[in-house]
Homo-oligomer: A and B are copies of this chain.
Amino acid sequence: MDNRSILLQSMHEKKSCLCVGLDVEFDLLPEEVKHAEDPVFEFNRQTIQATLPFTVAYKLNTAFYECLGPKGWETLEKTIRFIGDKALTIADAKRGDIGNTAKAYAKAFFQNMNADAVTVSPYMGNDSLLPFLEYKNKWTIALGLTSNPGAANIQMQKLSSGHPLYETAMANMADMASPNQLMFVVGATRPAELKALQQRFPEYFFLIPGVGAQGGSVPEVLQAMGPNPKALINASRSIIYAGSGPDFAQKAGLSAQNLQKEMEAYF
């Protein structure tokens, strides 16, 4: 089965489009895991086991692993290996460079780390995406329109054509890559734009961060995306830090289940 069919089937079976963001900060780890050989991995392992029934994807933000040095890079690899094909794995790396450099990034994440997907930043243009798109059985997830105020600085600039930059950028990328390989990041806190983009790019999956701590809501997002949404809705802190005691994993599981319940009517 191809990538897209695998993802759609998993969403259909779990009635979920939940992506859990494993943005783990060492200082916030519960005491219970702090003395494990690899505390972050142990936290991830228990969190994944508890949330897996409700979750179709895990997103690992590389920053939180890089700031732990070479050991953190190992934990990142180990976690992606642990998830294996139980769910979609996303290296949230937002890389963006050209030529041999982009090739090396694609190799790092797709080949060495065997992540299913990697996020990329399109500022350097379409040629910076090509080396990722050469991996036909992987997902390249490009930044489209993000939730933060800074989106106004570049993404939302109005072009002389009358369109906002993000729309033109997304259209250029969609011209180059099929919905079986390319997804877009679109923030949860802009439901009107989300709906317009869904109608403009109906076949493309959107990775949607910004629910929970960042202010977006699951019902609002799903209303914008419609039934059988081609969406991965990411929640990080509201799940992984739902508890901070010995029952942290159980609480993470409950939090994931609550979000999944908000989703199931749409499948």
Contacts and interface: CB of A to CB of B under 8 A. Distances in A.
Interface of A: 23, 25, 61, 63-64, 66-67, 69-71, 73-74, 77, 94-102, 104-105, 107-108, 112, 121-128, 143, 146, 148-155, 157-160, 162, 165, 168-169, 172
A158 B127 CA distance: 19
Contacts of A165: 154, 157, 165
B108 A66 contact: yes
Given A148-B99, A158-B160, A67 B104 contact: yes
A53 B234 CA distance: 50
A123 B121 contact: yes
22 contacts: A63-B102, A66-B104, A67-B104, A69-B74, A69-B112, A70-B73, A73-B73, A94-B97, A94-B124, A96-B121, A98-B150, A99-B148, A122-B153, A124-B143, A125-B149, A128-B150, A153-B169, A154-B165, A158-B159, A158-B160, A159-B159, A160-B162
B123 A96 contact: yes
Given A159-B159, A168-B157, A125 B152 contact: yes
A1 B151 CA distance: 36
Given A70-B74, A73-B69, A160-B162, A126 B105 contact: no
Nearest to A152: B125
A127 B150 contact: yes
A7 B75 CA distance: 37
A131 to B, nearest CB: 10
A121 B146 CA distance: 14
Given A69-B112, A104-B66, A159-B160, A96 B94 contact: yes
A143 B162 contact: no
Contacts of A100: 23, 25
Contacts of A108: 63, 66-67, 69
Contacts of A112: 67, 69
A98 B236 CA distance: 14
